[in-house]
């Protein structure tokens, strides 16, 4: 059976089971496939909803990237190891993988507000554990809190397309998805600044090498700074929780677009459809191999660049500007793609080729295959990391939207959940490699892994057949 037949059968079968669908509970909209013009409306409050969602996503990624920029400080003050920091990241990804489908089932059978309240509550519990961990030296609580943060990501990372289709019209949907998905990158970028600067840490590669000779006063200063950072993040999370609880309605009174009135496959029908959709899996792997590996490498760039004599603060600035560039790129590319709806795959192929070139040059420089004069060395690192991030993170919202198109009429939240489960699985495997002692001590493999995954993704994208049934439905009804 071809994909068009599967889509048709799903629409027919789900029409008979519409009571199970969370995105179609509009009293003012008929159950038929056609949405009359006066029944579709975009509300101004959608921008507040987007702001709250983006802030929650920012908080989740801020906490996720808290410890990696402080790696050198933690090595000195608390005797953490490369492997332990990587393990904290890995258990966060594992929390996402385990709870992603149960939480998305909750969202589908209730609404997005329930999911957001759960997510904000878990962020608060995470910070409660971290506030206990350092004064009592029970650092295993940091790992438990990171698991809760990973579970939070089941909502903030998996629901951008769901949020955009519930609240935004077709002409704004890709851009709204870009803002919602890019907010996680903003949070990680902010962590590159807040972690070193709130702690007051300016640890150099030389101080890490000679850490046994550092004074107790210097170590105490680092510990106080780490505690201050935890207090700061606690305040940010509490503000986020209040914003979600005060006003985050489940859906607007009327749908913003025609596709929002179309019945979706229920949860288990959707999983079955995704499982059988070859084009989706080609796209899924092509997206997540480079994205999952690169965005796991970037928080640990201070570890990767330590052999080059790059300090913690410099590496933090490289990570910050790289992620900010990725956010700007995703918004610009998405704004263009909103006007070229049928060219999402083409955009992704071009950006992947450019990312491969940037990563290959970076790996060759780290391996001493290409000589760069010392006075230009840091500038070249900035340029290549920023370029790679622009190209890899710039196409994230495009992949989200392309995935929703390819799997339509499967629920957008479920499609994004599957995408993010694979993304977190790639990230978890990347971090678990640090448990191998030889890989934890020699980190040159990190950049070459990014090169290999990016190279593998391009042929998968080329052979994938993109289709846009959701867009075609809206255009056909609008034209008629």
Output the pLDDT for position 230: 92
Output the pLDDT for position 36: 45
- How do residues 140-197 score in pLDDT, each as one tens digit? 899 999 999 999 999 998 888 788 888 888 778 878 888 888 888 889 888 888 877 7
**Mean pLDDT, residues 448-471 taken together:** 88
Output the pLDDT for position 202: 67
Output the pLDDT for position 56: 95
**Mean pLDDT, residues 1-30 taken together:** 41
* 10 within domain boundaries: no
Q: Which residue's entry shows tokens 């629920």?
A: 411
Surface-to-core class of residue 379, CB atoms within 10 Å of its CB (0-12 exposed, 13-18 middle, 19+ buried): exposed
What CATH number has the domain bearing residue 148? Answer: 1.20.1250.20
Output the pLDDT for position 47: 93
Share above pLDDT 70 across residues of the chain, in percent, rounded to a whole number: 85
Q: What is the DSSP annotation of 23-41?
A: S---TTS-SSS---GGG--
Output the pLDDT for position 269: 85
Is pLDDT above 70 for 395?
yes
- Check if the beta carbon of residue 395 is closer than 8 Å to that of residue 346: no
* 457 within domain boundaries: yes
Q: Is 130 helix (H, G, I), strand (E, B) or coil?
A: helix
426 — pLDDT class (breaks 50, 70, 90): very high
- Check if the beta carbon of residue 89 is closer than 8 Å to that of residue 433: no
* 27 within domain boundaries: no
Q: Which domain holds residue 219?
A: 44-479
Surface-to-core class of residue 460, CB atoms within 10 Å of its CB (0-12 exposed, 13-18 middle, 19+ buried): middle
Q: Give the dihedral sign, CA 159/165/169/171.
A: positive
* 74 within domain boundaries: yes
Share above pLDDT 90 across residues of the chain, in percent, rounded to a whole number: 32
- How do residues 241-268 score in pLDDT, each as one tens digit? 999 999 999 888 887 776 555 656 678 8
Is pLDDT above 60 for 59?
yes
* 19 within domain boundaries: no
Instruction: Look at 13 and 183; give whichever has higher pLDDT.
Output: 183
Output the pLDDT for position 135: 86
Least reliable range by pLDDT among 120-124, 140-144, 434-438, 450-454:
434-438
How many distinct structural domains can be found in the chain? 1
* 399 within domain boundaries: yes
Structure tokens at 120: 């904000």
Write the CA distances from 405 to 20, 32, 368, 463, integer angstroms.
21, 21, 44, 17
Per-chain mean pLDDT for the chain: 82
What is the C-alpha to C-alpha distance for residues 19 and 1, in angstroms, rounded to an integer?
27
Q: Which range, 17-26, 297-306, 351-360, is most confident?
A: 351-360
Question: pTM for this one?
Answer: 0.77
Q: Which range, 205-214, 336-345, 422-431, is most confident?
A: 422-431
Q: Which range, 1-5, 235-239, 307-311, 461-465, is most confident?
A: 235-239
Output the pLDDT for position 346: 85
Is pLDDT above 70 for 109?
yes
- Look at phi and psi of residue 309 and say left if phi exceeds 0, alpha if psi is from -120 to 50, else beta: left
Closest residue by Cα to residue 341 from 198, 164, 471, 202: 471
- Check if the beta carbon of residue 40 is closer than 8 Å to that of residue 257: yes
* 246 within domain boundaries: yes
* 2 within domain boundaries: no
Instruction: Look at 25 and 480; give whichever has higher pLDDT.
Output: 480
Least reliable range by pLDDT among 180-184, 196-200, 463-467:
196-200
Output the pLDDT for position 394: 86
Question: Which residues, 6 or more positions from 353, have their beta carbon under 8 angstroms from its beta carbon?
Answer: 458
Output the pLDDT for position 260: 55
Output the pLDDT for position 452: 95
Output the pLDDT for position 129: 95
**Alpha carbon of residue 52 to chain centroid:** 16
Is pLDDT above 80 for 9?
no
First to last CA, the chain: 29
**Mean pLDDT, residues 360-378 taken together:** 87
């Amino acid at each position: 059976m071809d994909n068009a037949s599967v889509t048709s059968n799903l629409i027919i079968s789900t029409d008979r089971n519409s009571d199970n669908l969370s995105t179609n509970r509009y009293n003012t909209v008929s159950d038929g496939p056609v949405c009359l013009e006066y029944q579709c409306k975009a509300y101004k409050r959608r921008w507040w909803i987007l702001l709250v969602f983006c802030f929650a996503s920012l908080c989740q990624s801020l906490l996720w990237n808290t410890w990696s920029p402080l790696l050198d400080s933690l090595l000195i003050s608390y005797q953490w190891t490369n492997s332990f920091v990587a393990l904290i990241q890995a258990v966060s990804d594992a929390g996402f993988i385990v709870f992603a489908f149960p939480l998305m089932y909750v969202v589908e059978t209730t609404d997005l507000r329930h999911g957001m309240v759960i997510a904000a509550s878990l962020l608060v519990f995470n910070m409660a554990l971290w506030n206990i961990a350092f004064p009592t030296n029970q650092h295993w609580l940091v790992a438990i809190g990171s698991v809760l943060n990973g579970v939070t990501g089941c909502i903030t990372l998996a629901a951008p397309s769901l949020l955009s289709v519930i609240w935004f019209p077709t002409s704004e949907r890709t851009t709204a998805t870009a803002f919602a998905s890019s907010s996680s990158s903003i949070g990680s970028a902010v962590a590159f600044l807040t972690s070193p600067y709130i702690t007051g840490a300016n640890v150099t590669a030389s101080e890490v090498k000679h850490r046994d000779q550092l004074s107790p006063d210097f170590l105490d200063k680092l510990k106080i700074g780490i505690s201050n950072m935890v207090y700061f993040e606690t305040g940010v999370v509490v503000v986020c929780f209040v914003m979600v609880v005060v006003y985050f309605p489940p859906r607007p009174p009327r749908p913003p677009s025609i596709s929002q009135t179309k019945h979706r496959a229920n949860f288990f029908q959707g999983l079955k459809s995704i499982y059988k959709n070859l084009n989706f899996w080609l796209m899924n792997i092509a997206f997540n191999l480079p994205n999952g590996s690169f965005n796991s490498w970037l928080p640990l760039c201070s570890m990767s660049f330590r052999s080059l004599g790059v300090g913690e603060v410099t590496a933090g600035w490289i990570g910050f500007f790289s992620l900010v560039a990725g956010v700007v790129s995703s918004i610009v590319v998405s704004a263009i793609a909103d006007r070229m709806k049928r060219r999402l795959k083409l955009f992704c192929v071009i950006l992947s080729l450019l990312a491969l070139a940037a990563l290959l040059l970076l790996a060759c420089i780290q391996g001493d295959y290409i000589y760069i004069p010392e006075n230009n060395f840091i500038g070249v690192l900035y340029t290549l990391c920023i370029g790679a991030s622009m190209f890899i993170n710039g196409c994230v919202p495009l992949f989200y939207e392309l995935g929703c198109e390819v799997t339509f009429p499967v629920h957008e939240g479920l499609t994004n959940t599957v995408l993010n489960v694979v993304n977190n699985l790639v990230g978890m495997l990347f971090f678990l490699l640090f448990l191998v002692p030889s890989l934890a001590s020699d980190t040159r493999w990190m950049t070459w892994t990014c090169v290999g995954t990016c190279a593998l993704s391009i042929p998968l994208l080329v052979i994938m057949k993109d289709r846009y049934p959701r867009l075609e439905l809206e255009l056909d009804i609008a034209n008629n």
